[in-house]
Structure 1
Amino acid sequence: MTRWLAWTTACFISVSSLFCIPLQSSAGEGPNPVAQVERTSLAQAAQDDHVAKPIPDLRSEATLQASINNWRSILAREAGFEAWQSASWNSFPLGPGTHGWGVILTDHGQEVGYMIVYAAENGSFRLNEYGTGAHPLFSLTTLYRSLVQQELIPSTMSYSDFVRNEQITKNRLYMDALTAVWKVAIEGQTYYLDAKTGELLPLKEDPKPKLTEASLQRTDLQGTAITAAAPSFDPYERLPWILGQPLSISKVQEFQTAFKQHNNLTYVTELYGGLVTLPLAIIGYQQWGKNDNYLILDHMGARYVQLEGALAQGRIYK
């Protein structure tokens, strides 16, 4: 079977309404040329999109940069995030009406992780999702390789030419952690691809999210992280999520108990009206303070998604 993931409704936001944050460097590095190519292309593409309602306070650009730098520094102290210590980052808007941004971190020319950030009503920001590995969410590098492999673009097209090509529209659609896709138009044909793996999805139209923005919690990584980890495994080696019954888990404490009691827990969610079943290995959880809880899933790298939202969207099997 093929693993899939998810997406959201939207096109790029006009740079006159929101903004594409310049590449930041915490280690004195110069701008990454690949990231610069992407940022320029995205800003140009955004100019033709519909203007989104601006975030509550346009002065929050500086606050957004400060928040991202703060989260990067905090997470860089955690196991598995060592590459973030010297990583620089660039950001991109997620779509009209979402008031959200994606962030990709790069260390010595290699992508090493990502964040998904949303604006809060009070002008601050919340960290909705983050992850590590060489396949960050909404990586143009992953998208380019997938389109070449699917023979949707010629292998003779370079990465830089692909990014700059205005005839190929590349929209990042994000509504929640498990509803994130690329919407790509090539020669009049529209394709949807998984925002994490780049796999082609069996979609004909923009799917609807499972969670509303109002259901997302404000998170800021306060306090000391408590992390519980487990080895990864292939959820396709055993199929309890097909033959068995899910555990009765709806609360954070119930999940923590089950994680301690059972090995190889599998998280399963149905996406796009049941067109895709996504099973992922649960490799841990991370808790910040009393209320910031993240489920850690293995999806071509570790993904840290809000635990409460994940429980509402899927089931867990032992």
Structure 2
Amino acid sequence: MNFHPSPVKITPRRARAALLLLSLLLLCSHPGIAAAQTADKINLPADRTAYTKLSSHAIPSSVPPAVDVFARQSISELSQHPPFTNWEDAGVEYVPLGPGTRSWLVMLNTDHIPLGYLIISSDNSGGLVLSEYGIGTDLPYSMNTLESSLAAAGLLLPGSPKDSDAILRFTPGTTIEALYDPALPRWKVNVKDKPARYIHAVSGEELTERTNPSVKAPHITSFKAQHVMNVSQSSPVISTLGDLDPYRNMLWITAQPLHITQPAAFKTQLRAGSKTAVIFTAGKRNAEYAAPLSLTGWQEWSSPQGSILYLIASHHGTELQRYLPADTLIGKGRFLPSP
């Protein structure tokens, strides 16, 4: 049975605490010591029950300038189109993602309420790629999701505070890493003398051993950071009126799979204003993709180097729409028409 954490009411105070908690978990190795740029792991002593509030102005100091430029130019480009128009003046928080800090989570907020996110990754040719982005209040790597998942797995010590202004209490020697591979954001939880456990950073579902290893990254066209504004352009978002929740009407289970081998096919399947959706399911690998996913639109980025078609993907039980490169899903499962 899939595990879906109970929804948590987002208040300004809780959202602010969650953002600060996430920043602390990933940017500090012990109280009072700021982590280096490559620190995406932290040791948690058993008696650690409080956290030090971090100034958002201190976080970007370790962010590579190219990543910051890429993020801000991508945000500027996206803010020209709904539903991203309120991103232009949003606050920005950076969090490193492993392994090896090759990716960065960029969280956008206004008055400390989450608006959306970007995940930026480096490629093998010295460029940067927008691995995914999205809009909503339930951002990937939410501390609320992690807390619910760890509590369900029995990994919190008795007496762990329920107040989001206090850090969670783990067994001695516990480490937590935020990892990212294409379409697979996840936490790695290392408990002393026990096998590592992996938790999907969107759904909160614990991943099996088979889904733990890094997946092979598909080829995604890279956009050089210094040319984002001048060369790469995003199209308006094309969205349908299809159901965002793949579980609301599950007649798609009996449908014949669509033959989709190229991203361009989604432009025909997902027409603006239609009442259609395409369901992505990966069978035994559903947990890896937090599937089934309801695909209800797309946005295309173009440059002389090529183009990337991002699909709007919605999950059951979350207030989040992820924009995933179509290439990360094609060939990984089946696409079914939603009734």
Structure-1-length-normalised TM-score: 0.73
For 1:96-175, what aligned pairs fall within 5 Å after superposition? Answer: 96-97=99-100, 99-148=102-151, 152-153=155-156, 154=158, 156-157=160-161, 158-162=163-167, 167-175=173-181
Aligned residues of 1:87 and 1:107 also touching (Cα < 8 A): yes
Partner Cα separation in structure 1 for residue 292 and residue 68 of structure 2: 34
After superposition, the Cα gap between the structure-2 partners of 1:164 and 1:228, relative to the gap in structure 1 and judged at 3 Å, is same
After superposition, the Cα gap between the structure-2 partners of 1:167 and 1:208, relative to the gap in structure 1 and judged at 3 Å, is closer
Offset at 1:127? 0.7
2:235 corresponds in structure 1 to 225
Aligned residues of 1:281 and 1:298 also touching (Cα < 8 A): yes
User: What residue identity is the alignment partner of 1:302?
Assistant: Q
1:216 corresponds in structure 2 to 220
Partner Cα separation in structure 2 for residue 286 and residue 228 of structure 1: 6
Partner Cα separation in structure 2 for residue 61 and residue 255 of structure 1: 35
Q: Once the two structures are aligned, what percentage of the paired residues are identical?
A: 25
Q: Out of 305, 308, 317, which is 1:292 matched to? A: 308
2:262 paired with 1:246: no
2:11 corresponds in structure 1 to none
Partner Cα separation in structure 2 for residue 292 and residue 112 of structure 1: 23
Report the more deviating stretch, 190-199 or 232-241: 232-241
Offset at 1:305? 0.5
Report the more deviating stretch, 66-75 or 236-245: 236-245
Partner Cα separation in structure 2 for residue 296 and residue 34 of structure 1: 25
Partner Cα separation in structure 1 for residue 175 and residue 250 of structure 2: 38
Offset at 1:106? 2.2
Offset at 1:227? 2.0
Offset at 1:200? 3.3
Partner Cα separation in structure 1 for residue 67 and residue 217 of structure 2: 22
Aligned residues of 1:295 and 1:310 also touching (Cα < 8 A): no
Aligned residues of 2:233 and 2:301 also touching (Cα < 8 A): yes
Partner of 2:166: helix, strand, or coil?
A: helix
Q: Out of 232, 235, 241, which is 2:246 matched to? A: 235
Partner of 2:121: helix, strand, or coil?
A: strand
Partner Cα separation in structure 1 for residue 168 and residue 75 of structure 2: 26
Is there any run of 5+ residues in structure 1 with no aligned partner, and where?
Answer: 5-31, 53-58
2:32 corresponds in structure 1 to none
Partner Cα separation in structure 1 for residue 235 and residue 168 of structure 2: 37
Q: Out of 90, 101, 105, which is 1:87 matched to? A: 90
Offset at 1:146? 3.8
2:286 paired with 1:267: no
Q: How many residues align?
A: 281
1:183 corresponds in structure 2 to 188
Partner of 1:308: helix, strand, or coil?
A: helix
1:76 corresponds in structure 2 to 79
Offset at 1:294? 0.3
1:28 corresponds in structure 2 to none
Offset at 1:37? 4.7
Partner Cα separation in structure 2 for residue 180 and residue 272 of structure 1: 14
Partner of 1:312: helix, strand, or coil?
A: coil
Partner of 1:70: helix, strand, or coil?
A: helix
User: What residue identity is the alignment partner of 2:247?
Assistant: Y
Offset at 1:312? 2.8
Aligned residues of 1:241 and 1:268 also touching (Cα < 8 A): no
2:205 paired with 1:199: yes
Q: Out of 3, 26, 30, which is 1:42 matched to? A: 26
Structure-2-length-normalised TM-score: 0.69
Aligned residues of 2:40 and 2:177 also touching (Cα < 8 A): no
Partner Cα separation in structure 2 for residue 312 and residue 250 of structure 1: 7
Aligned residues of 1:168 and 1:187 also touching (Cα < 8 A): yes
Q: Out of 59, 65, 70, which is 2:68 matched to? A: 65
Aligned residues of 2:139 and 2:202 also touching (Cα < 8 A): yes
After superposition, the Cα gap between the structure-2 partners of 1:225 and 1:196, relative to the gap in structure 1 and judged at 3 Å, is same
1:313 corresponds in structure 2 to 332
How big is each residue's C-alpha offset from its partner over 1:102-142, in whole Å with a ceiling of 9 and x where there is no partner?
A: 22222212222111111234544211100111111112233
User: What residue identity is the alignment partner of 1:126?
Assistant: V
1:303 corresponds in structure 2 to 322
User: What residue identity is the alignment partner of 1:229?
Assistant: S
Partner Cα separation in structure 2 for residue 135 and residue 91 of structure 1: 17
After superposition, the Cα gap between the structure-2 partners of 1:268 and 1:204, relative to the gap in structure 1 and judged at 3 Å, is closer
